[in-house]
């Protein structure tokens, strides 16, 4: 006679086997698959205003063109010389225009790889907040996409030749990272718009033709033209490329900038490259009389000396540091007055400095801040320290008797 435990063991084994078989049914992951050939990857999006309508332009990658020019590859037989395809439609809203574009694209638009979002100047001046809702509402959209303002229509920017990169959108992204320490993503931009005491600033880019006029078949390229400054969500002005470098310095966002100093005697310039800096903003408040001190500590090195000035002399290096500091004070002071009095844009975060250090005072003046901000006295105090004068100590190619020691 068989023991009673043997039947119970068989029942347990049968139940376990049945559970494993049922679990295997759940492993069939191909039922909702989406092939690459059925997806259109959007690399960049441009938004423009046309009358009371919005134009949305999408730059779509052509997989068949990424290997070699003119190939018919695995991208569904796409042909041509460009690695991307543009589709552009007009609609009553961002989403409305996007829906129109989907109707003429045979593949499902996918935004998970979008790297940049370009706003045309005209649209940015009207305000960009209401265009942002769909970007946060649909999880597929990346809040890490970088934001740029274009001179002229964003549509034109996405049609640039940009021969160095596969896509114009990719060139826009790389230029962002070479221009600012922390480029303005959608998330950072919206934080600045919604945050008290701070206004956003994003790079401005434009089209340019490479080389002199004598070159035939010139290509259109993309360049950084300066910084767009906002008041809340509206573009109020553009700072040119020269002054924008000093404004970024005051924001603690400059990536690489050089200051050119003339020597005390003779001609030419000494170039000082600032390699790092930090900024501290301190408010002084008495009633409605507000003064802000912007303290900058900068480290740099000498990149070029086309003068006869001897910078191997320690006293001369100190003189050069002082001259570089004076140049920063002059140029940053000029651009601060511009954003205060003409553009009413607090991109330095002067209001934010009050919130962080004097919250009780901010509660008192918050309702008046827009009237007080243009009148705030801003004192610039830069300190420059030159760490390295280069591989040669004296001007290269200059005779000893020609060198200035003071």
Q: Which domains does the chain have, with CATH numbers?
A: 35-241 (no CATH), 256-406 (3.30.300.210)
273 touches 227 (CB < 8 A): no
Residue 11's H or E segment, with its range, is helix 4-26
Size (the chain), residues: 406
Residue 365 Cα to chain centre, angstroms: 32
The rounded distance, in Å, linking the Cα atoms of 361 and 376 is: 15
The rounded distance, in Å, linking the Cα atoms of 280 and 384 is: 15
Name which of 133, 158, 142 is nearest 55 in CA terms. Answer: 158
Q: What pLDDT score does 76 carry?
A: 36
Q: Which of 74-78, 245-249, 259-263, 366-370 has the lowest mean pLDDT?
A: 74-78
Ramachandran sector of residue 152 (left: φ over 0; alpha: ψ -120 to 50; beta: rest): left
The rounded distance, in Å, linking the Cα atoms of 138 and 122 is: 26
270 touches 302 (CB < 8 A): yes
* Whole-number average pLDDT of the chain: 87
pTM of the model: 0.85
Give the β-pairing of 220-231 and 201-209: antiparallel
Q: What pLDDT score does 397 carry?
A: 57
| pLDDT (average), residues 308-328 | 89
Residues 31-68 pLDDT 10s: 566 677 788 999 999 999 999 999 999 999 987 766 54
For the chain, how far is it from start to end, CA to CA, in angstroms?
Answer: 115
Q: Is the predicted pLDDT of residue 178 greater than 90, yes or no?
A: yes
- 377-388 sheet: strands from edge to edge: 257-261, 270-286, 289-305, 377-388
Q: 135 by DSSP, 3-state: which?
A: helix
| pLDDT (average), residues 335-343 | 97
Q: Is the predicted pLDDT of residue 320 greater than 50, yes or no?
A: yes
| pLDDT (average), residues 289-300 | 95
Place of tokens 């790889």: 113
Count of Cβ atoms closer than 10 Å to residue 366 Cβ: 15
């Amino acid at each position: 006679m068989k023991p009673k435990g043997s039947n119970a063991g068989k029942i347990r084994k049968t139940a376990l086997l049945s559970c494993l078989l049922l679990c295997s049914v759940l492993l069939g992951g191909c039922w909702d698959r989406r092939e690459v050939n059925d997806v259109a990857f959007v690399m960049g999006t441009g938004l423009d205003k046309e009358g009371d309508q919005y134009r949305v332009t999408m730059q779509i990658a052509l997989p068949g063109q990424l290997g070699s020019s003119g190939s018919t590859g695995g991208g569904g037989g796409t042909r041509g010389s460009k690695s991307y395809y543009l589709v552009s439609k007009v609609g009553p809203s961002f989403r409305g225009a996007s829906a129109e574009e989907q109707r003429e694209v045979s593949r499902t638009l996918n935004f998970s790889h979008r790297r940049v979002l370009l706003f045309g100047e005209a649209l940015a001046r009207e305000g960009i907040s209401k265009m942002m809702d769909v970007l946060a509402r649909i999880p597929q959209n990346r809040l890490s996409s970088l934001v740029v303002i274009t001179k002229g229509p964003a549509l034109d920017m996405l049609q640039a030749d940009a021969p160095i990169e596969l896509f114009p959108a990719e060139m826009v992204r790389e230029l962002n990272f070479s221009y600012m320490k922390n480029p303005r993503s959608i998330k950072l931009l919206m934080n600045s718009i919604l945050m008290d005491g701070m206004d956003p600033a994003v790079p401005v880019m434009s089209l340019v033709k490479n080389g002199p006029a004598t070159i035939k078949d010139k290509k259109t390229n993309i360049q950084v033209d300066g910084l767009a400054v906002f008041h809340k969500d509206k573009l109020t002005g553009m700072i040119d490329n020269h002054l924008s470098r000093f404004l970024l310095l005051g924001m603690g966002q400059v990536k690489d900038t050089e200051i050119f100093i003339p020597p005390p005697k003779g001609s030419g310039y000494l170039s000082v490259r600032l390699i790092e800096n930090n900024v501290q903003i301190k408010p002084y408040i008495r009633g409605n009389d507000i003064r802000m001190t912007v303290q900058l500590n900068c480290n740099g090195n000498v990149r070029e000396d086309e003068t006869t000035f001897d910078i191997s002399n320690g006293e001369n290096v100190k003189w050069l540091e002082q001259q570089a500091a004076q140049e920063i004070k002059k140029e940053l002071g000029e651009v601060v007055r511009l954003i205060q009095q003409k553009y009413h844009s607090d991109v330095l975060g002067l209001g934010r400095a009050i919130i962080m250090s004097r919250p009780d005072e901010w509660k008192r003046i918050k309702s008046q801040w827009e009237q007080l901000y243009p009148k705030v006295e801003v004192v610039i105090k830069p300190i420059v320290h030159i760490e390295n004068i280069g591989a040669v100590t004296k001007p290269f190619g200059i005779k000893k008797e020609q060198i200035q020691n003071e």
